[in-house]
Amino acid sequence: VQLQASGGGVVQAGDSLRLSCEDSGGTSKQYTMGWFRQAPGKEREFVAAVSWSGSTTHYADSVKGRFTISRDNTKNSVFLQMNSLKAEDTAVYYCAMRDYYSGSYTHYVSESAYKYWGQGTQVTVSS
């Protein structure tokens, strides 16, 4: 499994960005995918997750209403549309993949539930 995240950049507050994560192995279509982020000096935190079918999504309270996670299993990809970006969204964003089935909310939002991780893409929002 190789997860490749892309789409980060430097934007102004209020702008939008769309992150992409492609799984070169094609395994991800079977499993939940998530986005996490790590700001300087802080621990990595959950941002959003989507079930294998795309029918179930979860979001951190801090991004609800602004971010949308989606996936395209025909392209082995998951996306994170980020609107109304704020300075506090500045972080390295990581995509991650679980390798087991669980409908538990905890298993969507817990970092330890994800086995495979991409390399991260930097998002910088200037105010």
Encode pLDDT of 62-80 as tens digits.
999 999 999 999 999 999 9
- Compare 127 and 48 and report the one with higher pLDDT: 48
Mean pLDDT of 88-117: 93
pLDDT tens-place string over residues 2-14: 999 999 999 999 9
- pLDDT value at 45 more than 80: yes
- Is 117 in a helix, a strand, or coil? strand
| Residue pointed to by tokens 């105010």 | 127
pLDDT for the residue numbered 24 = 87
pLDDT for the residue numbered 102 = 86
pLDDT for the residue numbered 83 = 98
- pLDDT value at 29 more than 80: no
- Is 27 in a helix, a strand, or coil? helix
Q: Quick one: which of 121, 69, 124 has its CA closest to 92? A: 121
Average predicted confidence (pLDDT) for the chain:
95
pLDDT for the residue numbered 48 = 98
pLDDT for the residue numbered 103 = 85
Burial label, 76 (beta-carbon count in 10 A; 0-12, 13-18, 19+): middle
Distance (Å, whole) CA 121 – CA 73: 21
| Angle at alpha carbon of residue 40, lines to 38 and 43, rounded to 5° | 45
